A and B are shown apart, each in its own frame.
Chain A
Amino acid sequence: MESRPDPTLEPLVLAAKAGDQKAFGEIVRKLMNPVMALTYRMTGDRDVASDLAQETFVTAWEELSHFRGQSSVKSWVWRIAANRSLNYLESLSRRRTHELTNISEDIAAPGNIHRELEQDELRRGVLAFMSTLPPQQRLVFELRFYQQMSFEEISQAMDRALGTVKTLYREAIGKLRAHAKQSGWRS
């Protein structure tokens, strides 16, 4: 992720840091899709994903003056979104209210019916798998597989040891293989 910075974002970041809300609005629109995809996979719920994406960008605006450009703005925003998602999942598991059924209801909601069935099936399968992972493991899987981050970047972003991050990922892959077998993915 760090190796593929978007050059069109940098001037927008400079303008936004100077207080240009319009420039920040452009950043929001450029990053909204991937941020919402991340929060959706992490939570399995479109509405919660929207709320977390909102919070992510509002926090980014509030903290923009502290952004020193040591990482790309993308990975900085990703980190905020990932932390928000993780906090949400951890508070949820404390309340023990998160159930897999929420995910299937969300996917089958009337607003999503027009989406092509194949994509729905893919999303349903992924969200069902991800919901089986504990929050930290889910985040490592998300950052590694979908965000294509290196283990070093993940270790830095999560403030966890490199070995721990690799172990979390390998364990997630072990569960993924079992899930794939159970779901008939390995045809």
Chain B
Amino acid sequence: MTCNEYQDRLAECLGQPELPADLAAHVSDCTDCASVWEELKQIGGHLGSDSAFYPEPHEAELVAQVVEREIRAAEHGAKVIRPHWWTRVAQVAAAAVVIVGAVTVTWKFTHQPGTGGDTATSSQFADTSQFSAQDDTEELSSDVIRLLLYDVSTTDNFRASEVLLNDISDEEAAYLRTSLKAGDLL
């Protein structure tokens, strides 16, 4: 067997714990092949182990739960919508829409320009020009925010996401995926 053939076999052994006896014997006698094997071992060290690519525990658990839901649903003849990445994006978008809407409505109910009171009348709602002069960073109560986030993040409630997804093309979805961050919306 030539050194080229031995080196082909060495390449096949990358990642294996031990060399076959005949290869090991050749490597111990041949400096060229020993240097190739040394190089391959060094490269192997840069490839890491399987566990270096494990997901975070919560990611793995989330996927496991989705699988269990799908199986339960299949047993009952129902189809579950899988939370693909675009569903998650849509959920965030839906959360943003709901929160922005709620902030606006809450703001309208709690601000009366000129009077400083806590109640609002229908005539004051009609005067939208007043809003532009106001600070738009008013905060919702933490309870309201928590309820809204819970509603849109609960995995069994995809109605808002479905409505949004009906209007999203593949190109738009690709754009959202590469450019949208939750922080941009929330």
Indicate whether A and B interact.
yes
- Give the A-B pair count, Cβ closer than 8 A: 125
In the complex the two chains form, what is the Cα distance from A119 to B55 in whole Å? 12
Interface flags for A19-46 (1: CB within 8 Å of B; 0: not) read 0010011001100111011101100001
In the complex the two chains form, what is the Cα distance from A36 to B183 in whole Å? 27
A89 within 8 A of B: no
Kindly list chain B residues whose C-beta atoms are within 8 Å of the C-beta of A50: 55, 59, 62-63
When C-beta atoms are compared, the residue in chain B nearest to A183 turns out to be B46
B175 within 8 A of A: no
Q: Is the interface of B mostly helix, strand, loop or mixed?
A: helix
Count of A interface residues, CB-CB < 8 Å: 49
B147 within 8 A of A: no
**Whole-angstrom distance between the Cβ of A130 and the nearest chain B Cβ:** 10
Does A180 contact B71, Cβ atoms closer than 8 Å?
A: no
B residues 1-53 near A (Cβ < 8 Å) are: 8, 11-12, 14-16, 39-40, 42-44, 46-53
B68 within 8 A of A: yes
A144 within 8 A of B: yes
Which of A2-10, A68-76, A166-174 participates in binding chain B?
A166-174
Please pick, from B8, B46, B178, the residue contacting A125 in the complex, using a CB distance under 8 A: B46
A residues 150-168 near B (Cβ < 8 Å) are: 151, 166
In the complex the two chains form, what is the Cα distance from A53 to B12 in whole Å? 28
Answer whether A185 and B42 are a contact pair too, CB < 8 Å, given A40-B55, A54-B66, A122-B48. Answer: yes
B97 within 8 A of A: no
When C-beta atoms are compared, the residue in chain A nearest to B48 turns out to be A122
Does A40 contact B46, Cβ atoms closer than 8 Å?
A: no
Does A126 contact B47, Cβ atoms closer than 8 Å?
A: yes
Answer whether A151 and B12 are a contact pair too, CB < 8 Å, given A122-B46, A146-B50. Answer: yes
Please pick, from B15, B48, B183, the residue contacting A144 in the complex, using a CB distance under 8 A: B15
Kindly list chain A residues whose C-beta atoms are within 8 Å of the C-beta of B8: 170
When C-beta atoms are compared, the residue in chain A nearest to B177 turns out to be A47
B159 within 8 A of A: no
B64 within 8 A of A: yes
**Whole-angstrom distance between the Cβ of B78 and the nearest chain A Cβ:** 14
Kindly list chain B residues whose C-beta atoms are within 8 Å of the C-beta of A170: 8, 11-12
Answer whether A33 and B54 are a contact pair too, CB < 8 Å, given A126-B47, A170-B11. Answer: yes
Could you list 6 further interchain pairs (A-B, Cβ under 8 angstroms) beyond the known A25-B64, A180-B46, A186-B42? A29-B64, A33-B60, A40-B55, A46-B55, A54-B66, A173-B14
A sample of 18 cross-chain residue pairs with beta-carbon separation below 8 angstroms, ordered by A number, consists of A29-B60, A29-B61, A33-B60, A36-B53, A36-B59, A36-B63, A37-B50, A38-B50, A41-B53, A46-B59, A48-B85, A54-B66, A58-B67, A61-B74, A105-B178, A126-B46, A147-B50, A173-B40
Name A residues whose Cβ lies closer than 8 Å to a Cβ of B. Answer: 21, 24-25, 28-29, 32-34, 36-38, 40-41, 46-51, 53-54, 57-58, 61-62, 105, 110, 119, 122-123, 125-126, 144-148, 151, 166, 169-170, 173-174, 176-177, 180, 185-187
10 closest A-B pairs (Cβ-Cβ)?
A37-B53, A47-B85, A173-B11, A145-B15, A33-B54, A57-B67, A185-B46, A32-B60, A180-B43, A122-B48
Name B residues whose Cβ lies closer than 8 Å to a Cβ of A. Answer: 8, 11-12, 14-16, 39-40, 42-44, 46-55, 59-64, 66-68, 70-72, 74-75, 82, 84-85, 178, 181, 183
